[in-house]
Amino acid sequence: MLRNTASNRFKVAVLGAAGGIGQPLSLLMKMNPLVHELTLYDLVGTPGVAADLSHICTPAKVKGFLKDDIKAALDGADVVLIPAGVPRKPGMTRDDLFNTNATIVKNLVGACATACPKAKLLIISNPVNSTVPIAAETLKKANVYDPRRLFGVTTLDVVRANTFVAEKLGLNPFDVNVPVIGGHSGPTIVPLLSKVGGRGFSEEELKALTHRVQFGGDEVVKAKDGAGSATLSMAYAGAEFAQFVLRAARGDKGQVACTFVDAQNTGLGKEGIAYFSSKVTLGKDGVDAIEEVSSLGLTPYEQQLLETCKTELKANIAKGIEFGRK
């Protein structure tokens, strides 16, 4: 493990930092020893959030920025986390969020293209299956697109899978690592439960666990009774993935995580699936390698889930590309 020095600690920006995900995410990033500067941007509230966080006794320096100050927030950023947007409400699908969040992501990524073109962008704003293609098209227009540096954060699906499997098997969640591939909504989420060590699952258990991982967000929306969606667990997942990215940027080897990335140079890309959540090895510049789905040894059940995923995912991606090219 490399030591934390001035040369391997990073500036992180959170866009949408005053929101339900943004605030706890900013707290977690303030606590991260690899962060030396944390900038918070939102339309309202960020000076107060920054002042609050600045009282926490960790080394990261925090500043809050509003409205027209986005360039100052982004200048020199190594990693940008984007949770900005409206939350999902009861009865809403991630696609229902599209019109509002698509515009928000397009504008924010456009600002990143100008202010920090070499930053690694971590897209949390839903629907990720569409917002990542929007981000890519925005970066392409600005001639700064590097597929190694753009990520859709699907870590919450992995976090849920690990949690639900651990509960089912009576294990410590830290000892469980379920790869989750595909996309980040409903049937596009494909948890590879066959990769769990120990005893297998019955067909009934497989179906129940798969459904719970795919639609875990609905549990939270229902439990919050219309008052919000998954914010705390999403903030945790965002911080977890950011940690992988930061460790890799520092030079740590063996940083492997599932994330929604450009898949055009993979076998799935040849099938017309331009983006896909895969097991990715991370390096200093972002994506080092993408593990081919064909090498994962999917069971017949998982292969069936994958085929269902592909149809919906293609449509989600096409919608994002079309919007991004406008």
**pLDDT digits over 237-262, tens only?**
999 999 999 999 999 999 999 999 99
- Contacts of residue 112, Cβ cutoff 8 Å, sequence gap at least 6: 74, 77, 80, 119, 121, 139
Higher pLDDT, 200 or 304: 304
Same domain, 120 and 175: no
Strands (E), 145-248: 150-152, 180-182, 189-191
Are 248 and 320 in a shared domain? yes
My answer on whether 60 and 117 are in the same domain is: yes
**Final residue in a domain of this structure, among 104, 135, 152:** 152
Considering the candidates 36, 55, 184, 211, report the single residue annotated as catalytic: 184
Are 129 and 172 found together in one domain? Answer: no
Residue 184 annotated to the active site: yes
Reported as type and span, the H/E element at residue 62 is strand 61-66
Better-scored residue on pLDDT, 304 or 94: 304
Identify any residues that bridge with 121 across adjacent strands, giving them in sequence order.
Answer: 80, 150
Q: Which amino acid is at 63?
A: K
Which of 94, 118, 152 represents a domain boundary (last residue)? Answer: 152
Residues paired with 150 in a beta bridge: 121
Same domain, 174 and 280: yes
> Token digits for 93?
């699908």
* Number of neighbours of residue 140 by Cβ within 10 angstroms: 13
Q: What percent of the chain has pLDDT over 70?
A: 95
**1 falls within a domain:** no
User: Is the model's pLDDT at 59 over the cut of 70?
Assistant: yes
Residue 2 reports pLDDT greater than 50? no
* pLDDT bucket at 4, cuts 50 / 70 / 90: low
Task: Look at residue 1 and tell me whether its pLDDT is greater than 90.
Answer: no
Cis amide linkage into residue 191, ω under 30° from 0 = no
Distance CA 151, CA 271 (A): 21
Mean pLDDT computed over 210-238: 94
Residue 154 pLDDT: 98
Q: Which domain holds residue 312?
A: 155-324
Q: Virtual CA dihedral for 321, 326, 238, 146, nearest 10 degrees?
A: 70
Is residue 187 classed as helix, strand or coil in its secondary structure? helix
Q: Is the pLDDT score of 228 beyond 90?
A: no
Could you tell me if residue 242 is inside a domain?
yes
Confidence of residue 7 (pLDDT cuts 50, 70, 90): low
Q: In Å, how far from its chain's centre is CA 43?
A: 22
Q: Is the pLDDT of residue 24 over 70?
A: yes
Query: For residue 227, what pLDDT is reported?
Result: 84
Boundary of a domain, candidates 152, 183, 207: 152
CATH number of the domain encompassing residue 109: 3.40.50.720
